[in-house]
Amino acid sequence: MSALPPGSTIGIIGAGQLGRMLGVAAAQLGYRIHVFAPRPGPACDVNNAFTQAEYDDDAALAEFAKSVDVVTYEFENIEADPIARLGELVPVRPSAKALAIAQDRTKEKRFVEKLGGRAAPWREVTSRAELDAAIAEIGCPAILKTIRFGYDGKGQARLASADDADAAWDAIGGNPAILEGFVAFDHEFSIVLARGMDGGHVSYPPPLNGHDDGILARSTVPAPAEVAAQWTEAAALAGRVADALDYVGVLTLEFFAGKDGPIFNEMAPRVHNSGHWTIEGAVTSQFENHIRAICGLPLGSTAVTGSRVEMENLIGDQAERWEQIIAEPEAHLHLYGKSEIREGRKMGHVTRVWR
Ligand code: AMP
């Protein structure tokens, strides 16, 4: 395994805030950044080069491959096939296979269940009739989730009873979905793990994640004892998932803290919003560890730098509080440079570290 030397160019597919924070971490280690996306976005403020093309434009991807030494992606709602073809031209880390599994709720659940993970009961639903059958088997309350393209609570509809079936099916546009039993949980948490090219991995202490309207609102470390008690089991599962995929980079698994142990919710083949606290709250951030992993460098320490760390997302007009936030002594403000404030849009975040 030879490390990519500083001065090499990292290609990032996607121009969002995750690409922006990856770009900052990459620049700190002396790498150059080439962003590939259909439209400019927050990552373009920190790049060296930008290719504007659709994600399935093979000719543009082939040209992009010539200008970069390694490619990574910053979100999963892209087709895996063009990324697999790109992987024949230049190393893509994590692999297109990891992308194909993590972007599909049925594939990711089967994959994780095979490795010993426990998910809420679920059934695949591809027609209105199958929804009735799934309700009969799983019962209500339940959640209908599209198999693909769901994020931040989008592509989801809750069913309090079977009477809600029509409305739920309409709400998700009749797209292929899964019906999932509603989990009674007190806490949600995530495991953010980095796996290097040598197969070694490190993971961060799990944050307690709080959601408002299906969107992550805050992550807090350390998490309460009920979550800490499930850390070892959840991190071991994340490690098995990463090993089984021969994964390189940061991988995130989200869990509900159930009464009898962690219940797997979903995974993301990338750095994750619930890991943003690591920029100031851990010795090595998730972004730096992702860059280290894909460049073949040794992974950095995931130790926490304070006695308590809290990351608060600034969603929609919450970002207008930036002047008050920046005046707080323990606050680290991050704004993503998005010009238009929209409801539900992630505009930035703030991390508070108490030493
Ligand atoms: P997801 O996009 O699957 O992460 O869902 C968004 C949020 O909806 C989760 O973070 C939970 O707060 C809630 N949620 C999703 N699935 C379930 C479930 N099976 N039971 C209870 N709450 C859920």
CA of 318 to the centre of ligand 1 (A): 23
Distances (CA, A) of 126 to 103, 142, 158, 159, 238: 17, 16, 17, 17, 29
Residues paired with residue 258 on neighbouring β-strands, in sequence order: 261
CA 28 from centroid of its chain's CA atoms: 22
The dihedral through the CA atoms of 25, 320, 350, 329 has a sign that is positive
Q: How much is the pTM?
A: 0.97
Distances (CA, A) of 127 to 149, 169, 174: 18, 9, 7
pLDDT for 2 equals 84
Ligand 1 atom with the shortest distance to the CA of 154: 2
Q: How far apart are CA 287 and CA 310, in angstroms?
A: 17
CA 90 from centroid of its chain's CA atoms: 23
Q: Which residues line ligand 1 (CB under 6 A)?
A: 120, 143, 145, 150, 153, 180, 182-183, 188, 211, 214, 254, 265-266
Q: How far apart are CA 322 and CA 311, in angstroms?
A: 14
Task: Tell me the pLDDT tens digit for each residue of 163-202.
Answer: 999 999 999 999 999 999 999 999 999 999 999 999 999 9
pLDDT for 334 equals 98
Q: State which H helix or E strand residue 114 sits in.
A: helix 105-114
Task: Grade residue 137 by pLDDT with cuts at 50, 70 and 90.
Answer: very high
Look at ligand 1, atom 11, and give the residue with the nearest C-alpha: 214
CA of 32 to the centre of ligand 1 (A): 37
Residue 1 predicted with pLDDT over 70: no
How many alpha carbons fall within 13 Å on the CB side of residue 210? 11
pLDDT for 214 equals 86
Q: What share of the chain is helix, strand, coil (3-state, %, to 5)?
A: 35, 30, 40
DSSP 3-state assignment of 81?
helix
Ligand 1 atom with the shortest distance to the CA of 120: 19
**Burial class for 327, CB neighbours closer than 10 Å (0-12, 13-18, 19+):** exposed
